[in-house]
Amino acid sequence: MRSSNLAAFQEAFARALLAPQRVAGTDAAIDRLAAQPGFAVYRNTVMKGCIDALQANYPAVARLVGEEWFRAAAAVFAHHALPQHPTLLDYGARYAVFLESFAPAAELPYLADVARLDRLWSEAHVAADAPVLDPAAVAALGEPQMRQARLVPHPTARWRWFEQAPIHAIWSRNRACDGEIGELAWRGEGALLTRPFGEVLHCPLGRAGAAFLDACAGGESIHGAVVVALDVDEHADFSALISQLLAAGAFSALGRRDNGV
Secondary structure, 3-state, the chain: CCHHHHHHHHHHHHHHHHCCCCCCCCCHHHHHHHHCHHHHHHHHHHHHHHHHHHHHHCHHHHHHHCHHHHHHHHHHHHHHCCCCCCCHHHCCCCHHHHHHCCHHHCCCCCHHHHHHHHHHHHHHHHCCCCCCCCHHHHHCCCHHHHCCEEEEECCCCEEEEECCCEHHHHHHHHHCCCCCCCCCCCCCEEEEEECCCCCCEEEEECHHHHHHHHHHHCCCCHHHHHHHHHHHCCCCCHHHHHHHHHHHCCEEEEEECCCCC
The Cα 208–Cα 55 span in angstroms is 33
Residue 74's pLDDT is what?
96
Contacts 24+ apart (CB under 8 A), 125-128: 125/89, 125/195, 125/200, 126/89, 126/90, 127/155, 127/156, 127/195, 128/155, 128/156
Residue 68's pLDDT is what?
97
Q: Residue 14: name the closest of 76, 75, 82 by CA.
A: 82
CA dihedral 21→23→24→27, nearest 10 degrees, is -110
Domains of the chain with bracketed CATH: 3-110 (no CATH), 125-256 (3.90.930)
The Cα 214–Cα 228 span in angstroms is 9
Residue 260's pLDDT is what?
45
- pLDDT in 10s for each residue of the chain, 261 residues: 455 565 665 566 656 666 555 444 456 666 666 666 655 555 667 789 999 999 999 999 999 999 999 999 999 999 888 777 777 888 999 999 999 999 999 999 999 999 999 999 999 999 999 999 999 999 999 999 999 999 999 999 999 999 999 999 999 999 986 556 667 889 999 999 999 998 999 999 999 999 999 999 999 999 999 999 999 999 999 999 999 999 999 999 999 875 444
Rg (CA), the chain: 23
Q: Residue 212: name the closest of 226, 233, 231 by CA.
A: 226
The 10 Å Cβ neighbour count of residue 93 is: 14
The 10 Å Cβ neighbour count of residue 137 is: 14
